[in-house]
Structure 1
Amino acid sequence: MKSDVLATPGHLISLAARGFARLSGARLKPLGFGVGYLPALVALKNGRAETQRDLARFVRIEQPSMAQMLVRMEKDGLIRRSPDPADGRSSRIALTDVALARLPDACAALFQGNREALDGFSDEEAAQFVALLDRLIANLDRLGGVGQRASR
C-alpha cells in the first residue's frame, strides 16, 4: 500500500462518495428528492421498514437524523404517518402517491448516473468493484461493531 495519504482507499472512497452525492443530488433535486431520501423511500416501498426505528436501522443512521429526514420528507409530501396500533408511541410511515409516482424516475436517474460513472468498466469489472466494496463495508462494519448491513 502506498504511503501517500491522498492515495489511500479511505480518501479515494470519500472523494468518490462526494462525487456520487453531487451527481445524485443534481439528478434527484428536480424530482423533489434529497440524496439521502432514496434508501428510506425504497425500504418503505419494498416493505423492509414501517417505522422510524426500522428506517434508521435499515439506512444506518442515528434516530435523531432519521427523525429530521422524515420531517423533511413529510414536508415535501413524500411520506405520511399514522399511529401504530401496536405501539402508541410509534407511527407507521408510508409513501404518498407523489413518492410512488416519482420513485421510478429517481431510481432510473441513479442507475443512469452509476452507469455513466462506471464508463469504461466492463460488466465484470463493475461487478467485481461492487463485490469488493461489499467486502470492504463488511470489514468496516466488523471493525466498528456495526450489525449486519442491510441487503440490497
Structure 2
Amino acid sequence: MDMNVLSTPGHLISLAARGFARLSEARLKPLGFGVGHLPVLVALQDGRASTQRDLARFARVEQPPMAQMLARMERDGLIRRTPDPADGRSSLITLTERAEARLPDAVAVLLQGNDDVLRDFTDEEAGLLVTLLTRLIANLDRVAGAEASPGPERSS
C-alpha cells in the first residue's frame, strides 16, 4: 500500500502540536509564560513544592533541559528555590506569588485556545479526540519503553 507520509497520523499530530504550541506561545507571552513552562506550573500550582528531578520526570524531559528552563524561570521571577531539608544537595522549587497570581489567566487563555480551534467539533467529537489521543500517548509510552529497555539479544 502506497501511503503518503504527509497524511499519516504521526505527521498530522505533529502539525497539530506545532500549531497548538505557536498559538499557546503567542497567547501566553503577555503573561510572562511559555508553553514549556506548563508542566512546571501545573506541578507546582496551589503552593506545591518539588525537586528538579521530580519536575523533569513529571514533564517527561531530561534533567539538563529542565535545569536550563528552571534557571530561566528563576531569572524571570516565576519560581524560587529553597534548600531541601530532607536532602542538603537538593532544592525545593515553588512558584512565586507573581506566577501563582498569573496562573489562572494562563489556564483561561489555554482553555480559550482549545475552544477556538475545536469550535466546529461537537462535544462528542472533542471528547473522542481526547480519548483517542490519550490512548495514542499511552501506546507511544509503551512502545518507546519497550524499545528503550534492554531485551534479549536478537540473532540475525
> TM-score scaled to structure 2, two decimals?
0.89
SS in 2 for 1:81: strand
Partner of 2:154: none
Aligned pairs (5 A) from 1:106-145: 106-145=106-145
Could you tell me how far apart the structure 2 residues matched to 1:97 and 1:53 are?
23
Aligned pairs (5 A) from 1:2-151: 3-46=3-46, 50-145=50-145
Q: Any unmatched runs of 5+ in structure 2?
A: 147-156
The 1:87/1:2 distance shift into structure 2, 3 A limit, reads: farther
Residues 52 and 66, structure 1, Cα contact 8 Å, conserved in 2: yes
Q: Percent of pairs identical after alignment? A: 74
The 1:101/1:3 distance shift into structure 2, 3 A limit, reads: same
Could you tell me how far apart the structure 1 residues matched to 2:49 and 2:5 are?
39
Could you tell me how far apart the structure 2 residues matched to 1:48 and 1:58 are?
13
> TM-score scaled to structure 1, two decimals?
0.92
For these two proteins, the number of residue pairs brought into alignment is 146
Q: CA deviation at 1:75?
A: 0.8
Q: CA deviation at 1:53?
A: 0.7
Could you tell me how far apart the structure 2 residues matched to 1:137 and 1:8 are?
16
Question: Which amino acid is 2:34 matched to?
Answer: G
Could you tell me how far apart the structure 2 residues matched to 1:58 and 1:2 are?
39
Q: CA deviation at 1:88?
A: 1.0
Q: Which runs of 4+ in 1 moved over 6 A?
A: none
Residues 81 and 94, structure 2, Cα contact 8 Å, conserved in 1: yes
Could you tell me how far apart the structure 2 residues matched to 1:53 and 1:46 are?
20
Q: CA deviation at 1:46?
A: 4.8
Larger gyration radius, structure 1 or structure 2: 2
Q: CA deviation at 1:38?
A: 1.4
Could you tell me how far apart the structure 2 residues matched to 1:51 and 1:117 are?
35
The 1:48/1:143 distance shift into structure 2, 3 A limit, reads: farther
Partner of 1:149: none
Q: CA deviation at 1:45?
A: 1.0
Residues 39 and 59, structure 2, Cα contact 8 Å, conserved in 1: yes
Question: Which amino acid is 1:16 matched to?
Answer: A
Could you tell me how far apart the structure 2 residues matched to 1:3 and 1:42 are?
39
1:50-97 CA distance string (max 9 Å, x none): 110110010100000100110011011000000001111110000100
Partner of 1:150: none
